[in-house]
Amino acid sequence: MENLREEDLLFAKHNIRTDLALESHQAVIEREGPPELPGVKVHTEKEPGITITRIVVENDLGAQMMGKAPGNYSTIESTGLREHNRDLHERIAQLLAKEIEWFFEQSEVGAEDPVLVVGLGNWNATPDSLGPKALDNLMVTRHLLEMSPPELRQGLRPVAAIAPGVLGLTGIETGEIIMGVVDRMGAKAVICIDALASRSVDRLCSTIQISDTGIHPGAGVGNRRLAINKETLGIPVIALGVPTVVHAVTIVSDALNLLETGGEGQNPSMETSPGRTKFNIDPKALMSGEPTSPAAPPPLDRRQLISQVLDPYFSSMIVTPKEIDLLIDEVVDVITGALNTAFHEGVSYDEVFKYLS
């Protein structure tokens, strides 16, 4: 256990896989009960239709509890991200821009320091295309500013962008490509944009997470690659991600949670015996491991039950909404608008959103 990474510790202890620090924190609180976790600070702000949660994992103890590396995590949640609501999207983009600017300040990235934006993911797979799509409307300026005198730059930062693809397409580790580009162009910071995995269907394409702990491409779907962080690159790495997929195991686990509650939340018109679901299953006996009758075999524990239901292939299944292409387009506009505003002091919110669909 000592050699496991933080995310692997969380999975081994609670059978949970998620890229979101907010979900990790909630899951540990639900299972272990304490209102606060040692080494973890949480602050939440709300405004109409938007919730911002900032989590600081202060030390290794907090990292082991959370399953997340020590550092800062900010999460912006809004169901309006899944809707074509221009006004709300602009408000979210403004808040996201302020969070990115705060991370720049904490990482001591100067206003004119060159930045490399990396769109992680596979553009051929829609749920994984968030990163490459986010580069389409990005204000890339490095090649222009190198040929312009300082007095004509007017608050623009040197920004370069790359979509390196995935190992299966290029045969090269994404981290290796980024290392080479960073070394060649002299970037002072890297922004990685990537699709994430959630443990809640409600958070798909409605949540944006920013962190300064870097990223492990493919970790959310069990395909961890070379880390992209300050330790490997030598410069600050800010990860920006949106959950676009959820594990099938998670959906089954949520269904079992309903069994545990005896069918709470189901249609009131369903006729069930007290303490039993409409399937006539005693959830307490199922989850405790006690037989439901003297002749009945002992039931399986939750992990065995899920594995038996989903094997041989479905246990590794990743699920995404059928309208994922439209949802990603909505989120991409918000991310691009926020990045353009945070990168360039001479660009206003109104100017940025004029050029976004």
What confidence category does residue 134 fall into, taking pLDDT thresholds of 50, 70 and 90? Answer: very high
Q: What is the largest CA-CA distance in the chain?
A: 86
Q: Where are the domains of the chain?
A: 6-250+319-354, 251-318
Task: Read off the pLDDT of each residue in 127-143 and give the average, rounded to a whole number.
Answer: 91
Q: Is the alpha carbon torsion for 88, 92, 97, 98 positive or negative?
A: positive
CATH code for the part of the protein at 6-250+319-354: 3.40.50.1450
Above pLDDT 90, what percent of the chain? 44
Task: Read off the pLDDT of each residue in 179-200 and give the average, rounded to a whole number.
Answer: 93
Query: Looking at residue 67, what is its pLDDT?
Result: 83
Query: Looking at residue 58, what is its pLDDT?
Result: 92
Lowest mean pLDDT among 67-81, 130-144, 150-164, 264-278: 264-278
Residue 285 has pLDDT above 60, yes or no: no
Answer for the pair 96, 338: CB distance below 8 angstroms, yes or no. Answer: yes
Above pLDDT 70, what percent of the chain? 71
Residue 178 has pLDDT above 60, yes or no: yes
Residue 27 has pLDDT above 70, yes or no: yes
Alpha-carbon gap, residue 324 to 228, rounded angstroms = 26
Alpha-carbon gap, residue 231 to 276, rounded angstroms = 52
What confidence category does residue 301 fall into, taking pLDDT thresholds of 50, 70 and 90? Answer: low
Alpha-carbon gap, residue 139 to 158, rounded angstroms = 10
Answer for the pair 134, 340: CB distance below 8 angstroms, yes or no. Answer: no
Query: Looking at residue 339, what is its pLDDT?
Result: 94
Residue 274 has pLDDT above 50, yes or no: no
> What is the model's pTM?
0.80
pLDDT digits (tens, 9 = 90+) for 220-266: 455 556 789 999 999 999 999 999 998 877 777 767 766 766 554 44
Query: Looking at residue 252, what is its pLDDT?
Result: 75
- The gap from C-alpha 119 to its chain's centroid, in whole angstroms, comes to 14
Query: Looking at residue 265, what is its pLDDT?
Result: 44
3-state secondary structure of 331: helix
